[in-house]
C-alpha cells in the first residue's frame, strides 16, 4: 500500500477541473431531450409510456404540436424516444441541466 | 454508566456510520452488545403498490429504481418474470448483453463496497483508490447504456441498445485495466495488516448458521455456502459461460472481503467470454402491451445476493401484484447473529459487510404508538380515510381531487 501511496504523490489528480474543463459524454448519452415538431404526428405514445409524466404533447393547430418537457421530473430513460414511431424525439448529450430557477426546468419545444 | 447494567441505545435511523437510514436498537452492557433489534421500514417507498398502478413499460423504470446500485439486477429480475408469463423467447444476443451489463454492474458494486468497507474501518486511502478505479467501469456503463446509473438497458423481450465492435474493444481495454487493479486489491486484502487485523474474527457466522439464517450472496459464500443463482439456476447467458463460484471459509468480515475481490476476477472472466462469444442476431422481440394472465417467480444473483421477484398478471397492461425480496432482507437476520456478544465499535463494519441496501429492503412500515407501543393492522380503505382526515386537520382538502380520482378509477 505504501508504494502505491508514494507513487500517487507524483501523479496528476484523478478528478477533472470542472467547470473549466468540461466532461466528454459518450455518444448517444441520454441527456436532455430534443423534439422535432415537424415530425410529430400527435399520437401521444410518448406520453403514455413515460414513467414519470414528464412529457406533454399539445396540439396547437392542424398537424402542429408542441412538447412540454419537465426536466425536473424527467429521469432521462429515453423510453419516449423508443416509443415514438416518427423519431420526433431524440436524447442529446446535454447534461448540464442544473438551474437556480425552478421554472426554467420546464421546457417548451414548438415549431415557429 | 455501570458496566453491569444493561441499557438500550438507538443506532440510527440517522447515523454517521450508516450510509442509508435504518433504525437499530442496541442492548448494551458496557461496550458489549447483548442483542440488536432491527426495525425496518424507515425507507418504505411503496414501490410495490406503485408498480400495480403503472404499465409494464413504466414499471421497468420504476423497478430499476428499487436500488441505485443493483438497478440492472432488479429490472432484469422483474422482466424475466414478465417474459415468462408472456411466453416470450428472448434473442440470444439480448441475453448476452444482459449478462454483460450484469457483470459490469457487479464490478462497480463490489469496488464501491470495497471503498465503503475501507471507510468504515478508517482506511480511507482504500476508499479513494477503489472509487477512483470504479470510475473506469462507470464510464464503460455510460458508454454502453447511455446512463451512469439506472442504465435503462432492459426492455420486455430483450435489450434496448446493441453494442458495436468499437465498444467491445473499449470494454476489453477497460477490463484489462480493472483486472490489473483488482490483482493489486487482492494483494491488499490478503497482505495488508490493517485489513487482516481489523476484519478477522469480526462478524462471525458459521457455515451452519449461514444455512439456518438463510444468508445469501457473498455473505453466505464467505461462510463456505456454495450458493450462487448464476450457477444453481442459470438465467440470461450464464448456462453457456464457465466461471467459478468463489467461497471462503473465514466466515467473518475478512472472508467477505476476500470473496468480493476474488469475485471481481470471475466477473472479468465472464465479461471476456460474453464479448468473445456474442451471438449475432436481433436484440429484442416485440412484446405485447397486454400481458396474459398468469404468475411467475424469478431469481437473479445480484451483487448482494439472491434477488427474488414475483409478478402476477391479470391480462391487462398493468401487473396485479409485484413482490420484491431484495438480498438485504435475507441477510439481515444474519447481522443480528453476527453482532451478538461483539463490541459496539464493530457494528458499522459488520452492518456494512453484508453490503446492505435498506431502501431496497423496506417493504412495510410498522408504526407503534409512542407511549403504549400498541400495534394494529389497518386496511387500505382505512388508511385512505385516515390520510384524508389527517390532511383536513392540516387544512388541506382533497374532496375535489378525490372525486376526480374516483371517476377515473371507475373508468379503468
Ligand atoms: S426520457 Fe423518460 S422520463 Fe424523460 S420524458 Fe422521456 S420517457 Fe419521460
Ligand atoms: S410519440 Fe412521437 S409522434 Fe407521437 S406524440 Fe410523441 S413525439 Fe409526437
CATH number of the structural domain spanning residue A58:
3.30.70.3270
Average pLDDT over residues B333-347: 89
d(CA B367, CA B230): 38
* Judgement on whether residues B411 and B336 belong to the same structural domain of the protein: no
Q: Do B266 and B148 belong together in one domain?
A: yes
Q: Is B407 a residue whose pLDDT tops 90?
A: no
Contact B98, B305 (CB under 8 A): no
Structural domain span for residue B396: 379-412
pLDDT at B370: 64
Which residues on A lie below 8 Å from B142 (Cβ)? 25-26, 29
pLDDT at B4: 67
Q: Check if A72 has its Cβ closer than 6 Å to any atom of ligand 1.
A: no
* Confidence at residue A25, expressed as pLDDT on a 0 to 100 scale: 81
Q: So what's the pLDDT on residue B216?
A: 93
Note the residue count of chain A: 112
- Count up the domains in chain A and report the number: 1
C-alpha cell at B163: 453494442
Least confident window among A8-22, B148-162, B327-341: A8-22
Residue B76 contacts residue B160 (beta carbons within 8 Å): no
Q: What is the mean pLDDT of residues B352-380?
A: 77
Residue A62 forms part of a structural domain: yes
In a domain, A50, yes or no: yes
pLDDT at B79: 95
With a CB cutoff of 8 Å and minimum separation 6, the contacts of A86 are A39, A40, A41, A43
For residue B276, the domain's CATH number is 1.10.645.10
A33, A39, A45, best to mutate for ligand 2 pocket (most atoms within 8 Å of CB): A45
What is the pLDDT at residue A14?
81
Q: For the residues B208-236, what does the mean pLDDT come to?
A: 92
pLDDT at B182 over 90: yes
Residue B202 and residue B346 in one domain: yes
Residue B398 has pLDDT above 80, yes or no: no
For position B6, what pLDDT does the model report?
A: 83
The percent of residues in chain B predicted with pLDDT above 70, rounded, is: 97
How far is it, in rounded angstroms, from Cα B25 to Cα B186?
Answer: 35
pLDDT of A112 reads 60
Would you say residue B66 lies in a domain?
A: yes
Q: Are A78 and A5 in contact (CB under 8 A)?
A: no
Task: Tell whether B340 and B395 lie within a shared domain.
Answer: no
Is the pLDDT assigned to residue B149 strictly greater than 70?
yes
pLDDT in tens, B1-22: 455 678 888 887 888 777 788 8
Q: Please state, in angstroms and rounded to a whole number, the distance separating the CA atoms of residues B295 and B203.
A: 38
Indicate if B333 and B389 belong to the same structural domain. Answer: no
Sequence-distant (≥ 6) Cβ neighbours of residue B399 within 8 angstroms: none
Confirm or reject: Cβ of A88 under 6 Å from ligand 2: yes
Contact between B337 and B205 (Cβ < 8 Å): yes
Give, as one character, the DSSP assignment of residue A112: -
Q: Which atom of ligand 1 is nearest to A78's Cα?
A: 1
Mean pLDDT of B227-240: 92
Residue B17 lies in a domain: no
Do B333 and B400 fall into the same domain?
no
Q: Work out the percent of chain B whose per-residue pLDDT is above 90.
A: 59
Least confident of A48-62, A98-112, B240-254: A98-112
Q: Is residue A86 part of a domain?
A: yes
Q: What is the pLDDT of residue B3?
A: 57
Query: CB-CB: which of A1, A51, A82 is closest to B58?
Result: A51
Give the residue, B167 or B372, on which the prediction is more confident: B167
Question: Which of the ligands is closest to the CA of residue A55?
Answer: 1
* Amino acid B409: pLDDT: 78
A55 falls within a domain: yes
Find, among B54, B197, B5, B120, the residue nearest to B355 by Cα. Answer: B120
Nine-digit cell string for B151: 442504465
Closest CA to B238 of B201, B269, B265, B209: B269
CA distance B350 to A16: 34
Q: How confident is the model over A34-51, as pLDDT tens digits?
A: 899 889 998 999 999 999
What ligand is nearest to the CA atom of residue A87?
2
Q: What is the pTM of this model?
A: 0.89
In this structure, what C-alpha cell is assigned to residue B159?
Answer: 435489450
Contact at CB, B146 and A14, closer than 8 angstroms? no
Q: Which pLDDT score, from 0 to 100, does residue A111 have?
A: 65
Is residue B156 included in any domain, yes or no?
yes
The total number of structural domains in chain B stands at: 2
- Please state, in angstroms and as integers, the Cα–Cα distance from residue B165 to each residue in B103, B123, B162, B280, following that order: 19, 40, 10, 12
Q: What is the pLDDT of residue B14?
A: 82
Which residues make Cβ contacts (< 8 Å) with residue A45, sequence separation at least 6? A83, A84, A85
Mean pLDDT over the full length of chain B: 89
* Option in A1, A5, A76 nearest B147 (CB): A76
Mean pLDDT to the nearest integer, B343-356:
88
Domain identity same for B403 and B290: no
How confident is the model over B213-233, as a mean pLDDT?
93
B325 & B398 share domain:
no
Calculate mean pLDDT across residues B281-292.
92
A29 touches chain B (CB under 8 A): yes
pLDDT greater than 90 at residue B311? yes
Structure-block grid coordinates of residue B278? 456474442
Q: Is B36 exposed, middle or buried (0-12, 13-18, 19+ CB in 10 A)?
A: buried
Answer yes or no: is pLDDT of A15 > 90. Answer: no
Residue of chain B whose alpha carbon sits nearest to that of A26: B143
pLDDT bracket for residue B181 (50, 70, 90): very high
pLDDT at B372 exceeding the cut of 70: no
Does residue A1 sit within a domain?
no
Is A18 within a domain? no
> In the predicted model, is pLDDT for residue B284 greater than 70?
yes
Phi and psi at B309, nearest 5°, equal -125, 140
Examine residue A63 and state whether it is found in any structural domain, yes or no: yes
DSSP string covering B211-256, please? Answer: HHTT--HHHHHTTT----HHHHS--TTGGG---PPP--S--SHHHH
Q: Looking at the predicted structure, is the pLDDT value of residue A12 above 70? A: yes
Is B328 inside any structural domain?
yes
- How much is the average pLDDT of B345-369? 82
- Residue B367 counted as domain residue: no
Q: Which residues of B89-115 are buried (b: 16+ CB within 10 A; e: fewer)?
A: ebbbbbbbbbbbbbbbbbbbbbbbbbb
ipTM above 0.85, yes or no: yes
Nearest by Cα to B155 from B104, B96, B94, B100: B94
- B204 and B126 within one domain: yes
pLDDT of B40-67, one tens digit each? 888 888 899 899 999 999 999 999 999 8
- Report whether B190 contacts B258 (CB < 8 A): yes
Residue B386 in grid coordinates:
385516515
- Phi/psi at B388 (5° precision): -65, -45
- Domain containing A109 equals 30-97+104-112
Residue A3 forms part of a structural domain: no
CA distance B241 to B266: 11
In a domain, B325, yes or no: yes
Do B213 and B123 belong together in one domain?
A: yes
* Predicted pLDDT at B225: 92
Tell me the backbone φ, ψ of residue B53, rounded to 5 degrees. Answer: -100, 5
Assess whether B397 and B308 both reside in one domain.
no
**What cell was used for B228?**
450462487
Over the stretch B67-118, which tens digit does the pLDDT of each residue have? 888 899 999 999 999 999 999 999 999 999 999 999 999 999 999 999 999 9
Band of residue B396 on the pLDDT scale cut at 50, 70, 90: confident
> Cα dihedral sign for B381, B385, B388, B394?
negative
A75 contacts B61? CB cut-off 8 A:
yes
Residue B10 included in any domain: no
For chain B, the first-to-last Cα distance in angstroms comes to 62
Sign of CA dihedral A69, A75, A78, A79: negative
Strands (E) located in B116-274:
154-155, 158-159
- By three-state DSSP, how is residue B55 classified? coil
Q: In B, residues 340-359, which contact A (CB 8 Å cutoff)?
A: none
- In the predicted model, what is the mean pLDDT of residues B349-356? 89
Same domain flag for B392 and B296: no
- Judged against a pLDDT cut of 70, whether residue B137 lies above it is answered with yes
Amino acid at each position: 500500500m505504501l508504494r502505491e501511496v508514494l507513487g500517487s504523490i507524483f501523479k496528476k489528480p484523478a478528478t477533472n477541473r470542472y467547470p473549466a474543463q468540461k466532461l466528454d459524454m459518450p455518444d448517444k448519452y441520454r441527456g436532455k431531450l430534443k423534439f422535432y415538431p415537424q415530425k410529430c404526428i400527435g399520437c401521444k405514445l410518448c406520453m403514455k409510456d413515460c414513467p414519470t409524466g414528464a412529457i406533454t404533447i399539445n396540439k396547437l393547430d392542424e398537424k402542429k404540436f408542441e412538447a412540454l418537457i419537465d426536466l425536473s421530473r424527467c429521469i432521462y430513460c429515453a423510453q419516449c424516444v423508443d416509443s415514438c414511431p416518427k423519431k420526433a424525439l431524440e436524447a442529446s448529450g446535454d447534461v448540464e441541466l442544473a438551474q437556480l430557477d425552478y421554472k426554467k426546468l420546464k421546457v417548451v419545444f414548438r415549431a415557429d | 454508566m455501570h458496566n453491569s447494567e444493561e441499557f438500550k441505545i438507538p443506532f440510527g435511523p440517522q447515523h454517521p456510520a450508516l450510509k442509508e437510514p435504518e433504525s437499530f436498537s442496541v442492548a448494551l452492557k458496557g461496550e458489549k452488545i447483548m442483542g440488536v433489534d432491527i426495525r425496518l421500514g424507515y425507507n418504505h417507498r411503496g414501490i410495490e403498490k406503485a408498480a400495480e398502478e403503472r404499465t409494464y413499460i413504466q414499471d421497468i423504470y420504476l423497478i430499476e429504481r428499487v436500488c441505485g446500485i443493483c438497478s440492472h439486477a432488479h429490472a432484469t429480475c422483474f422482466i424475466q418474470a414478465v417474459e415468462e408469463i408472456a411466453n416470450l423467447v428472448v434473442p440470444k444476443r439480448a441475453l448476452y448483453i444482459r449478462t454483460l451489463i450484469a457483470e459490469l454492474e457487479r464490478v462497480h458494486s463490489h469496488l464501491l463496497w470495497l471503498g465503503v468497507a475501507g471507510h468504515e474501518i478508517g482506511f480511507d486511502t482504500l476508499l479513494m483508490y477503489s472509487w477512483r478505479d470504479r470510475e473506469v467501469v462507470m464510464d464503460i456503463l455510460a458508454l454502453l447504456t447511455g446512463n451512469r446509473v439506472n442504465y435503462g438497458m432492459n426492455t420486455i423481450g430483450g435489450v434496448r441498445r446493441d453494442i458495436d465492435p468499437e465498444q467491445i474493444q473499449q470494454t476489453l481495454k477497460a477490463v484489462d485495466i480493472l483486472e490489473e487493479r483488482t490483482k493489486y486489491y487482492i494483494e491488499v486484502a490478503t497482505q495488508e495488516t490493517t485489513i487482516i487485523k481489523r476484519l478477522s474474527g469480526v462478524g462471525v457466522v458459521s457455515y451452519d448458521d449461514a444455512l439456518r439464517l438463510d444468508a445469501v450472496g457473498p455473505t453466505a459464500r464467505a461462510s463456505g455456502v456454495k450458493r450462487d443463482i448464476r450457477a444453481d439456476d442459470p438465467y440470461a447467458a450464464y448456462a453457456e459461460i464457465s466461471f467459478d463460484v468463489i467461497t471462503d471459509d473465514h466466515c467473518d468480515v475478512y472472508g467477505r472481503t476476500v470473496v468480493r475481490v476474488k469475485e471481481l476476477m470471475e466477473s472479468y472472466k465472464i465479461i471476456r467470454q460474453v464479448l468473445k462469444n456474442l451471438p449475432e442476431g436481433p436484440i429484442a422481440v416485440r412484446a405485447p402491451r397486454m400481458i396474459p394472465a398468469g404468475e411467475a417467480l424469478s431469481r437473479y444473483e445480484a451483487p448482494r445476493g439472491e434477488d427474488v421477484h414475483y409478478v402476477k398478471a391479470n391480462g391487462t397492461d398493468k401487473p396485479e401484484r409485484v413482490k420484491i425480496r431484495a438480498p438485504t432482507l435475507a441477510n439481515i437476520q444474519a447481522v443480528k447473529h453476527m453482532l451478538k456478544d461483539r463490541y459496539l465499535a464493530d457494528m458499522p463494519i459488520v452492518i456494512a459487510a453484508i453490503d446492505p441496501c435498506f431502501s431496497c429492503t423496506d417493504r412495510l412500515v410498522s408504526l407503534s404508538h409512542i407511549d403504549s407501543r400498541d400495534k394494529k393492522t389497518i386496511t387500505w380503505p382505512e388508511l385512505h380515510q385516515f390520510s384524508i382526515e389527517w390532511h383536513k386537520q392540516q387544512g388541506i382538502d382533497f374532496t375535489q381531487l378525490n372525486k376526480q380520482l374516483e371517476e377515473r378509477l371507475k373508468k379503468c
